[in-house]
Structure 1
Amino acid sequence: MLKLVHGTPLRGNIVAKALTTRTFATTNVALQPSLAQQAREKRDKTVNTVTLIPGDGVGKELSEAVKAVFAASKAPIEWEQFDLSGHVTSGDTLMKDTLESLRRNKVGLKGTLYTPVSKLGHASFNVSMRKDLDIYGSISLVRNIPGVPSRFQGIDLAIIRENTEGEYSGLEHQSFPGVVESLKIVTRAKTERIARFAFDFALRNNRKKVTCIHKANIMKLGDGLFLETCRDIAKEYEGSGITLNDMIVDNASMQLVSRPQQFDVMVMPNLYGSILSNVGAGLVGGPGLIPGANMGREFAVFEPGCRHVGADISGSNVANPTAMILSSVMMLRHLGLEEHANRISNAVYRTIESGKVKTRDVGGSNSTSEFTDAIISAL
């Protein structure tokens, strides 16, 4: 299983333990770096090739912000960029090349790709990518950021959603004119692994509670299986101190906007996760602040936790790059580049907290490029 680590300094963040030089009490031999230190220094200098998919809408602007910050911080990342777009229906070759790059590099950073609403449009490239690579676990990190006004304080939760089935299975057909059947697929095998994913995330990040979100009172078989399986997996973690509770999705929506502090880790099927991650973003300042990741056994693709294209502000240089940059910080942690990750995330938080340079979504008037320059100055 790929490492599950936070991209931002959240509560219980996994941080590499301080490595000290080996000491010799009886000699005056100069201290030598430990093998662990040497390995870390070598890793920090090794160039990692990462697949970059800027995406549609504001994706290109946000990706340029990430590249500028990485260049300024000298992060050892080489980008293999693919300008895939959801607006193009004849992009099969580029889609195949992009997937081939991700399979080769194992790690990617992406913006959101546009998905046409029309029934004549193609299937979502976002969903296809997650299915083809089996990156089944999605994480959106929702927390208060000092310097960003919010109705609530003390919000620090992780929304984990299953990426490859549920309502996003993409199995629809018209059985009779005017009658459409859309299949929601729930399997025990895939529910078991997303449940373990959520509990492992909680265990590794010092989280104490997992809440299963469902609609088992109505969809008794499908969501009933999801809930029952989460309860079964919870038994495997009884000695960890992590507790499981469950909540019907409509009640969870109300609870999230009235007392969000009660949630820690939330696990749910895909559609509920899409909705609640947007609700969570609204609580702490908007989609421009929520980092995210998609994880599987072999591959990891990092992207903002609220998957907004931002077509209405594309090209206007006003989008907030925080979510994209913090998603790239999660990527650095995944690659074991803790020092680079800490340096960039600290610069982001210092810039936001100072309040001197703010994009308009959080009450400021500065541009994307001005905010990016401020982060670079704070490195």
Structure 2
Amino acid sequence: MTSYRITLLAGDGIGPEITAVARALLETVSASHGFTLSFDEQPVGGAAIDTTGVPLPESTLAACRAADAVLLAAIGSPRFDGLPREQRPESGLLALRSGLGLFANLRPVKIIPALAAASSLRPEVIEGVDLLVVRELIGGIYFGTPKGRVQIDGRERAFNTMVYSDEEVDRIARVGFRLAAERRGRLCSVDKANVLDVSQLWRDRVEAIHSEFPAVELSHMYVDNAAMQLVREPRQFDVLLTGNLFGDILSDEAAMLTGSIGMLPSASLGSQGPGLFEPVHGSAPDIAGQDLANPIAMVLSAAMLLRVGLQQESAATALETAVDRVLAAGCRTGDLLMGEGCTRVGCRAMGDHLLEALGA
């Protein structure tokens, strides 16, 4: 029987609660689909600071590198806001992405019919939305140098550098084109080439890589227009290709098309080694430990782990089908719009309903 090693990073806030739900479902679905999973739980973020003094211990990174896939819940806590930036929980996430060489972040956005009414947009705007944001993850302004804060003539200035090389753009562009070719064959590259030199390089290189994928229809869009078009006519998009900063913003905007950021998964992939799978939401420290969290984004991230990370397609589909069944039956956590016939449940109860649906 095939066996896989999964490193679990519960992290902070609601992380442990949603991780428990996802682990139970993974154990059940693997047993029914003829493979086994061994789990190794490691600290990261604020939880790692509390136990080791750093947001990403070397032992955690080593465990992730040795795994077949990594499932991360959430990182961050206001308790650490007073620390220097490089010592905060979020720096552990950036270091994890860099340490695993995860340059491509995939964020699917698909409307679930049972939740269409939860969106802040009209049903006729979001009906049929099925798009994928492909975000470059370890370059751009978040990693560019020089950066810092300096005193000049008695005044303080802060600065960051947005920088991309042709090699970095080429590799993420190829990921976007390949995925577009597997979907509906359309890729929209997002930049700010009318203002930024780095965006002009981005556009030039995307155009060059397009020659390798002539069957894919390529378009370009300035980031401000893309932000508007996502709420004006989201169905026009198939694959959105973005740099790090623009993708960070647009993917969260796209997530809200579904009505809750608590519904969407993501995958971060590199050229080799394990992928990192995580919900797009944060650690929600205000509701941590209160059994209020929505575990569905974590569960769907686990489904992406099965499909993309382990190539276990049928098991992934089983998890996704369980989510559809539970939502169609009217189960809702507090972040989701309650409708007629719906029942409000907590994190653990949602997990129980998903387990029951998985066995149906």
Q: Spell out the pairing of 1:1-379 with structure 2 (5 A cutoff).
A: 45-75=1-31, 76-86=36-46, 88=49, 91-92=53-54, 95-114=57-76, 120-122=84-86, 124-148=91-115, 149=117, 150=119, 151=121, 152-169=126-143, 171=145, 172-176=147-151, 177-203=155-181, 205-219=182-196, 221-238=197-214, 241-334=215-308, 335-355=310-330, 357-364=331-338, 365-379=344-358
- The CA RMSD over aligned residues, in Å, is 1.9
> What is the distance in 1 between the residues matched to 2:206 and 2:81?
33
Question: What is the Cα deviation at residue 160 of structure 1?
Answer: 0.7
Question: What is the Cα deviation at residue 338 of structure 1?
Answer: 2.1
Question: What is the Cα deviation at residue 299 of structure 1?
Answer: 2.6
Question: What is the Cα deviation at residue 118 of structure 1?
Answer: 5.1
> What is the distance in 1 between the residues matched to 2:327 and 2:16?
22
Contact 1:277-1:305 at 8 Å conserved across structures? no
> What is the distance in 1 between the residues matched to 2:352 and 2:199?
47
Question: What is the Cα deviation at residue 85 of structure 1?
Answer: 2.4
Task: Name the count of aligned residue pairs.
Answer: 330
Cα deviations by residue, 1:240-292 (Å, 9 ceiling, x for unpaired): x2111011101110110110000110011111111111111111121111111
> What is the distance in 2 between the residues matched to 1:174 and 1:361?
38
> What is the distance in 1 between the residues matched to 2:114 and 2:263?
12
Cα deviations by residue, 1:84-110 (Å, 9 ceiling, x for unpaired): 223628544962111101111142110
Contact 1:140-1:159 at 8 Å conserved across structures? yes
Structure 1 range deviating more: 82-91 or 334-343: 82-91
Contact 1:99-1:129 at 8 Å conserved across structures? yes
Structure 1 range deviating more: 145-154 or 303-312: 303-312
Question: What is the Cα deviation at residue 112 of structure 1?
Answer: 2.3
> What is the distance in 1 between the residues matched to 2:297 and 2:65?
24
Q: 1:58 to 1:301 in 2, by over 3 A?
A: farther
Contact 1:140-1:277 at 8 Å conserved across structures? yes
TM-score normalised by length of structure 2: 0.87
Identity of aligned residues (%): 30
Task: Choose 1 or 2 for highest CA Rg.
Answer: 1
Cα deviations by residue, 1:33-70 (Å, 9 ceiling, x for unpaired): xxxxxxxxxxxx32211111012111111100001112
Question: What is the Cα deviation at residue 137 of structure 1?
Answer: 0.2
> What is the distance in 2 between the residues matched to 1:96 and 1:130?
14
Question: What is the Cα deviation at residue 117 of structure 1?
Answer: 5.1
Contact 1:137-1:295 at 8 Å conserved across structures? yes
> What is the distance in 1 between the residues matched to 2:63 and 2:264?
26
| Aligned residue type for 1:143 | K
Cα deviations by residue, 1:221-257 (Å, 9 ceiling, x for unpaired): 111111111111111111xx21110111011101101
Contact 1:135-1:299 at 8 Å conserved across structures? no
Q: Partner of 2:143: helix, strand, or coil?
A: strand
> What is the distance in 2 between the residues matched to 1:145 and 1:304?
19
| Aligned residue type for 1:244 | L
Q: 1:264 to 1:117 in 2, by over 3 A?
A: farther
Q: 1:256 to 1:94 in 2, by over 3 A?
A: closer
Contact 1:293-1:300 at 8 Å conserved across structures? no
**Which position in structure 2 is the counterpart of 1:36?**
none
Structure 1 range deviating more: 106-115 or 319-328: 106-115
Structure 1: runs of 5 or more not aligned: 1-44
> What is the distance in 1 between the residues matched to 2:66 and 2:128?
40
> What is the distance in 1 between the residues matched to 2:327 and 2:198?
43
> What is the distance in 2 between the residues matched to 1:305 and 1:272?
18
Contact 1:290-1:304 at 8 Å conserved across structures? no
> What is the distance in 2 between the residues matched to 1:119 and 1:182?
19
Contact 1:166-1:270 at 8 Å conserved across structures? yes
Structure 2: runs of 5 or more not aligned: 339-343
TM-score normalised by length of structure 1: 0.83
Cα deviations by residue, 1:193-233 (Å, 9 ceiling, x for unpaired): 00001011122x322111111111111x1111111111111
| Aligned residue type for 2:188 | T
